Each structure stands twice: as C-alpha cells, then as structure tokens.
Amino acid sequence: MYKEKILKEIIKKKFKSKIISIEEFTEACLYGKFGYYNHSNVIGKKGDFITSPEISQLFGDIIGLFILYHWKINLKKKFNFYELGPGKGTLLIDLLNITKRFNDFQKSMNIYLIEKNIKLIEVQKSNILSFNYNPNKISWLKNFSKKNQYPNIIFANEFFDCFPVRQFFKKNQTWYEKMIEIKYNESSIKFKDVIINDKKTLKQLDQYKNSEVLEISNSRDKYFNRICKHIFKFGGMIIVIDYGYKNHPGHFTLQSVYNNKKSNLLDNIGKQDISSLVDFNKLIDLGKKNYLKVEYFSSQREFLLNNGIKEREDKILKVANNKQRILIQKGVKRITDKRDMGNLFKVLVLSKWN
C-alpha cells in the first residue's frame, strides 16, 4: 500500500513530529520513494489527465515551428534542446516530425529530456524508437543541469504546476499556514491551521500586501531561477506553458486528480496527481531579475492563433479523411477553447540571445 509506506516515510523523516506543511506532504506523495511520479503511468485517457500534445498534434507542430523560427533568426548554430517533464515524448516527436526537412536545424540539436518517472522514460524511449528516431541520440536526466556551453532552448508544458506549494491565509491580521496533521498509529490524517511565528516566512508573506490567501512554491521558484541564470549565462530561451495566472485569483488552487476526476488531497495517497496553478507574475519577476527579456506572454489560445494554428489546421484538413477531420477539429477546438484550456493555460517566453 502506497499510503502506509508514504506516511511511514513522512513520520520517520520528521522524527515523529506529526504536523507537516502541504508542501512536504505533496513532495512525499509525488516524488518520495513511493510517490506518484515514481510509479505511475500518468498521462493519457487511461491516466489521470490528458495534456495538449496528447490532444492535438497541431500543438507540437506550432511549438516546433516557433522554435525553428527562433533558432533561424537568433541562433543558426549548435544548441541544447531541453524538455522538462516530457510525458510520453509526444511533443518531441511532433517537433522532430514538423522540422524533418530542416536538416541543419536537427543536426544542431543536442536533446536532453528531464524526467523523474522511470516508467515514463521507458514509454518515451519506446515511442521515440517507433517514430524511427534513435533514442541513443537523446540524453535523459533526472534534474536540469549544465552539460556544455551551447545556448539553450528549453520547453516545459504542464511541468511547473507539479511543484509542491505551501498555503497561507490571513485572518484578523494574522497569517496562518494550512498544514496537515498525521497520527500514524490511529491512521488519521487531517488539515490543521497553524499561526505563523517564523520571521523568515512572515517577511516573505509581507511582500504580498494586498493578498489574504497565498500559495507559494519555493521549490518551483528555485528551479526556475536556476534555469534563468543558465539562460543568462549561455543564451537562448525558455517556453513555459501551464495552467496559471498573472494576478492571484484570491483562493487556493491546489487540486488533486484521480482517474480524470477531481479528488480530495488527503485521499488516494501516492496514487493521485497533485498540482496547482502557476504564478506567472513570479516567473516573469525571476526572469527580469536575471536580465532576461519577456519575449512573449499570453493565453495559450492567443499564442496558438497568433502562431498560425488555424492556417495549419486548414492545410492538413485538405488531405484528411472524414474520421481524421473530426479528430483534428475537435483537438484544435479543445486546446484553443476560450472557456477551457485556451484561456486557463498561459504561455511565457523569456529569452537572451547573446
């Protein structure tokens, strides 16, 4: 049982202390030895969620063409392509497919896939092999790290929403943290609101003067900051696409999903996905602090339309049969839908072309 093992791991780690932050709980549930990302095959209709590259090939086509364009204009030389959290490898395959006539581009690419999930790495290798691309030309890494001095194009779709968050709220001018109390022997696990006394945390919260409810992911900020520093030093760009906001929505956004349905955070421990909306304002701030240019920020819908998804759709519809037509149109509609993925997802591009 994952639940037993995860709770045991948490309790041991905290030397029997039983109140932990949501961040620590999520970390163990997702990335611990028995965590969700270490054993689950999480993506696709049978998994817990479905992502844009899995919904429509045109998503990868547009990203591939966008990257090719920037490489031609700004680089035209050897570079590293990093994909953070590549899932089933579908986006990379679509990118390689749409750029296959551009030999100089593909020959200039060192591909690095950053993936923690061992099962997904196997899926990625097998899918890439079926596409007739030699997986030996690709390097898999567990964490983002510097491999050489080449410039970088870094892509992340639904990656930064996986990072654990802490939840805070203000009541009668006092900040509280929503935490989790675990009584291992009684098998009881419940939320507990705790007043914050720690000066460092209070100082961090004071930066958000107008907020009463906050979610902060220190691990996400640290990871993103490292990438910004890397781009500043070696050049290139990062494209981040995720569920997210620029102005905090004023309520908690952390959610858990089990079998494609929203679930309770404290249920299905180790068996469900946990994510939260990405604070794009914070990512933009970190980019600016590292002297990167905000090349682009918009909703996913706007980005895809501005970069020619409709024109590409018209082109491939001309050679599609009836069944394919329906699938293509349904896919494009879903990823650009104003009331759904099209608006909920945001696209941020930061760059430094040396």
- Residues facing residue 114 across a β-bridge: 84, 141
CB of residue 231 vs ligand SAM: minimum separation in angstroms?
A: 18
Site residues (vs ligand SAM, CB under 6 A): 37, 43, 51, 53-54, 85-87, 114-117, 120, 157-159, 162
Query: 88 near 124, Cβ under 8 Å?
Result: yes
Instruction: Give the CB-nearest residue to ligand SAM.
Output: 85
Q: How far apart are CA 9 and CA 25, in angstroms?
A: 10
Q: Name the minimum Å distance from CB 183 to ligand SAM.
A: 29
- The CA distance from 1 to 303, in Å, is 43
**CA dihedral sign of residues 201, 207, 211, 214:** negative
Is 141 or 196 the residue whose CB approaches ligand SAM more closely?
A: 141
Query: Toward ligand SAM, which CB reaches closer, 127 or 290?
Result: 127
Closest to ligand SAM by CB, 88 vs 352, is 88
CB contact at 8 A, 42 and 51: no
Minimum separation from the CB atom of position 37 to ligand SAM (A): 5
Q: Residue 238 Cβ, how far from ligand SAM at the closest point, in Å? A: 14
- Which of 163, 144, 155, 162 lies closest to 53 in space, CA to CA? 155
Choose between 17 and 260: whose C-beta lies nearer to ligand SAM: 260
CB 33, min distance to ligand SAM, A: 15
Comparison of 75 and 304: residue with beta carbon closer to ligand SAM: 304
Cβ-based nearer residue to ligand SAM, 171 or 330 = 330
Token pair listed for 51: 């992502």
Distance CA 35, CA 273 (A): 10
CB of 123 to ligand SAM, least distance (A): 9
Task: Yes or no: say if 161 and 3 are a contact pair by the CB < 8 Å rule.
Answer: no
User: Could you count the other beta carbons within 10 Å of the beta carbon of residue 259?
Assistant: 12
